[in-house]
Structure 1
């Protein structure tokens, strides 16, 4: 009879199963390597970049020494915080306040003036997706030459002992333990993880890991924002009027577009606009400019929120006051103040939209005239919106930008949970061979009291239990089982022969049974 079966523990010796601290260190190293590779891929491909903030231009949102991760997007909207290269080579991280893909106007939240540069969408490094307070200071410390040198020394110093220990372990394994023991212990750990009381915890951690990987794949294989989609068509109609006394200059007491307004008769006028489109905010302004390059913007009223549909508004132009504003600037610059150009712009913003129709008027000492009659109607422009790409479940949404942060965190939690479960499952005592047999063949094995052997009936020992099970199934018999003195005995009795299989700690020391002994 064989002294060793697939269910028995092999001879004592040093275990080849890695200890929990080594498993933890290996997993941490693997995760660190994966993190470094992922960061290298993202940074190398230009899909993401790190911005170490300095100055106070974005206070109170960002402070000096913070670390901001920016990711390239398919489109950018008003309100996004974006990074771009200045002419000096430095990187600016400011908020988009106006513009379109052809050129954006940016401004620091804590700045009083807008940025001089107007980068296009292709010039932007990306928009902010992750803010790590004080992360820039930590990154600077970790990348200093002393820290990098210390890390290199630690790696080199630990490499040789690690190699020596690895060689000693391999030699010890060859001498004292077979590879089947390690496989058996590993199978025991995995099997125990999916048995009570670990089953619900293992299932939950595994599901969390699968969800985290799926969420990460979805978040990082596409843009942070969904492609811009065409919205409702925006339309703006202009007109103007001025009240005049009865004179030979006009046939009526009201001048209406597109006729010029003669300033000897009237010096003030009203500009009317009719907006048709989605809900938005309208802020009317007058943009003044002269041939010498001077320009300024004068508000013509408070911003007004309008609902979708049709909205009508009117602003008053005090031409003499605007002309005086240009004359004061001309005294300082020495440039001519005439002719003055007035652009009446009811700026439409909202939901990432930026629609700036303009009515251009030319002002001379004698008249205010419309530059282009076709500009009285600005139509046919579709306002595009680009919402963040998101997973939607009912009223709940999760954007791709947030998912890029959540996914690795969930994956780390899942891995930590599985490692903790594996550590506890590994310490759980292994089942005996008899317990494994009873669990695998519950309907075939019957527990009984020790059965005495019958005189003259031969007893045949089989080498393993599967063979005994096949004999029982072949003859349509049950396997009788009992335990005594640490020995597990399984027998199948037919009319003439007893087939027996034994296992346990004392099997190797037992003498061959005689017919008078118990089977």
Structure 2
């Protein structure tokens, strides 16, 4: 009856899992989400487990988990929207709606079961060392239970006859009843081999779940362009400008200034010196061209007038010096002419010196080809000219992809993934074979004499008796020990075992007579008679 109830409960559990808890990737309706964050309080808290069911329709009020375009997973409540335009989502602890509007294809399912705190316990099971301990316990408990059951049966089987000469049986090889099947060395080896098999199995699963190599993108600086501008305003000597020139002075970590304000009416020419430098590792064969333009710009969104200051000139090497001059009176005339044509005065303008350097060469053995366009910008108005920044630096970087082998860890031990895979592939079958062999020795007596095999396989059915309880000579001898076991099971009794100098005698007393099986001590081989299989009475 107990077996039938257990079978029924197992069938019910399997059906419940298949119908209610089978995951989506196995064709089922369920998804499992561990809550993290505070946006769904007080409905849900961090560490809760949410079981979701995929539905054909969703409606406002449903708590659903959905995927975001960035790859995240959010569990919030539907507060509006529809399947066609996307649902409006909001956390119960939020005062604003979400930026995402998932559609049914983005939704894993709606909340079907909420288990507070269970998610944290499931996270514990995801740790490799915890999985290993759990699997080791799962294999050890049945073995220990089987051993304990056999020992208890040998100490006092419920069907044991009340015989005054009965005594506890001893294990094969003289081991006492306190030892497990096969003795401690065999049983210890069996547990160790089984644990090693489970450990290698977990190692293999973890190693095959992750890629053998991982790539990392590193940004490296290949070379750097830098340009500095030195400028001088030229004008006729005057009371304000007795030398007829004003040089730019750049304070350290500060703005560029001049010794005197530069007034537009008095300034005649602007001279700008460009000092270019290319820096990098192992630069070779560097060459290029340099050209320059002058842009007059009426604000950021106004008109732009471009003129060529210098045609492209070739240069060789990593450094360059060039001087550019432009006539400020001509600039004023250009601005006045454009303002007259458009009938509008912007009031303020920008004078932009825009050099262009096209550079080629090799850096650290890798060829490169780049363009550098630093700008020297001055603010220009009818009354005053204010120069801008005098230095520009532009590093040129490259993305380098580095591949390295991954590692898989089991507690404090970490192994490279590829060797871990091979260790699992080659070691797990060996450990399983060793465990199977030791199990056969411990529980089936494989490789031992027949008496040991009988004790290993049927020890729970044996009851040792002394010479007074030996079977009579008229007992019926069966062909195999298995036949004697069938008689004992039919009669609901134990198999009595008596040993003497000649060998081992196993017999069963039933209402129809006494049945016997004999193993010779000298040859450790079965000696059975081929007499009639019909039972006959044995003498008392």
TM-score where L is the length of structure 1: 0.32
Structure having the larger proportion of residues in strand: 2
TM-score where L is the length of structure 2: 0.31
Larger radius of gyration: 2
